[in-house]
A and B are shown apart, each in its own frame.
Chain A
């Protein structure tokens, strides 16, 4: 019993000293590691992930009217399957996924709604 306590105390002191001596170094290395990756992320995000600006409104309404016109005149049936229809399907799927991510943020849980209640699920242990 005393020996176990001694071992715990030793472990604690070793952790403490290693945290103090190696901590700043490890943190610095983490920053170094993440810097090129972050810059790469910003390089793409600044162009591709920016939210739409009010200056884009004419382009947005143009895009909408083009879609409606192609649906009305039946021009969408002339799209190729591999180049355009498949890519458009994937884009629609991606927009749908953004909706589900938003729902997860709104309900503050990844899987399902956490409602406060007195329901206790069955535990098998």
Chain B
């Protein structure tokens, strides 16, 4: 017959499942923190890009405003 199942000590079971829950909590919390940091960086990049676009559009405008041959 197959070897009998071992009666695992409750302390070990408690340790295992609490480690599992702690790991899940830590994983999701760390992911959230990293995502927040990345969102700040992305927002700053978007702002920079928007400002550059505005400056480029303003430069285009001023360049094609009037020529000396008119």
Q: Which residues of A contact B (CB under 8 A)?
A: 40, 43-44, 46-48, 50-52, 56, 59-60, 63-64, 91, 94-96, 98-108, 113, 115-118
Cross-chain contact A95 with B19 (CB below 8 angstroms): yes
Interface string of B25-47 (1 = CB under 8 A from A): 11111110011001001100100
Cross-chain contact A50 with B13 (CB below 8 angstroms): yes
A-B contact number at CB 8 A: 101
Interface size class of B (residues with CB under 8 A): 20 to 34
**Shortest beta-carbon distance from A36 to chain B in Å:** 11
Contacts of A98 in B (CB 8 A): 16-17, 19-20, 23
Q: Is B24 an interface residue (CB 8 A)?
A: yes
Cross-chain contact B45 with A107 (CB below 8 angstroms): no
Among B9, B16, B27, which residue has its beta carbon within 8 angstroms of that of A104? B27
Minimal Cβ-Cβ distance residue in B for A102: B23
**How many angstroms from the CA of A60 to the CA of B41 in the assembled complex?**
47
Cross-chain contact B11 with A64 (CB below 8 angstroms): yes
5 cross-chain CB contacts under 8 A: A40-B2, A51-B17, A59-B9, A103-B23, A106-B24
